[in-house]
Amino acid sequence: MTNKIKILLLTVMLSSSIPMSAQIYGGDYALPMPTRDIYDTDMMIASLNAARIASEYDSRLLDYLEPIMNDLSQNLRAGNYNTCISKVNDVFRNVTFYKYQSSLMGWFLCVRGLSYLGNGNDSYAISDLVKARQYGDSDADKALSNLFSKYYEKGYDALKAGNYYECLRNINTALSTTYYNYSIYEMGGIAYESMNNFDYAKRYYKIAKKKGSPNAFKMLDDLKKHKKAYNKRYK
């Protein structure tokens, strides 16, 4: 068993055994414990039984997931991406994850996201990896950072080549990782301005300014002049 899997399983074992009734995307509520009347025996027994059942569920769940996680790790390293995707889908069909087990769910989402990435399906990969990062998965965070850089560079290359629609498509993909920098908004503004779409260019330059761009003020001023000259010539 890898160290990361050991840590994940240990984290769940040490977490509160009181479940939150949140399935994968559901809401949650706290398990009620007797507080009003400590001598209400029936209520106390019911609450303690609920906690015991939750603890038993954890134990069965970990016994069930451990071999699956080891198998997924091996298949991911071997590049068997379709196998990984199928196995993770089976887990999500058959397992109810509670809120305090979010690290486990993040791990499975990350494995599926990395598998989609290995298959070249970046849009599905980004969707899973963003969710995995929300559950605290550091590997997902690294993968998203790399994907942002990849699509930022592709957008920049497209801009230099004058392929403005391709530039904007790559910018949108980069931003879907939830990473950003002011430069990517500057780049989007330049692409839109180059297509004489002044309203969208202004929008992007303003976002760049909010993100700390030292160039945005001049870009906005130049855009105003460009728009004025364009309207004078064509309208």
Q: DSSP per residue over 89-123, as a string? A: HHHHHH-PPPGGGHHHHHHHHHHHHHHHHHTT-HH
Q: Mean per-residue pLDDT for 28-34?
A: 36
Helix axes 138-160, 122-134, angle to 10 degrees: 140
Q: Where in the chain is the domain with CATH 1.25.40.10?
A: 144-234
Q: What CA–CA distances, in Å, run from 182 to 15, 126, 204, 214, 216?
A: 40, 21, 9, 9, 9
What CATH superfamily is the domain 144-234?
Tetratricopeptide repeat domain (1.25.40.10)
Q: Is residue 77 scored above 80 in pLDDT?
A: yes
Q: Residue 3: what pLDDT?
A: 56
Q: What CA–CA distances, in Å, run from 138 to 3, 12, 58, 124, 161?
A: 14, 17, 24, 18, 35
Spell 70-83 as b/e; 16+ CB within 10 A means b: eebbebbeeebbeb
- Contact call for residues 223 and 202 (beta carbons, < 8 A): yes
Question: What are 168-187's pLDDT values in tens digits?
Answer: 999 999 999 999 999 999 99
Q: Is residue 26 scored above 60 in pLDDT?
A: no
Percent of the chain residues topping a pLDDT of 70: 75
Q: Residue 39: what pLDDT?
A: 43
**Window from 1-10, 100-109, 172-181, 222-231 with minimum mean pLDDT:** 1-10
Query: Which pLDDT band, with edges at 50, 70 and 90, does 100 fall under?
Result: confident
Angle at 30 between CA 27 and CA 36, to 5 degrees: 145
d(CA 83, CA 58): 26
**Residue 63 or 75, more confident:** 75
Q: Is residue 117 scored above 70 in pLDDT?
A: yes
Q: Mean per-residue pLDDT for 110-131?
A: 97
Query: Which pLDDT band, with edges at 50, 70 and 90, does 2 fall under?
Result: low
Q: Is residue 125 scored above 50 in pLDDT?
A: yes
Q: Residue 38: what pLDDT?
A: 39
Total-model pTM: 0.77
Q: Mean per-residue pLDDT for 152-180?
A: 96
d(CA 203, CA 208): 9
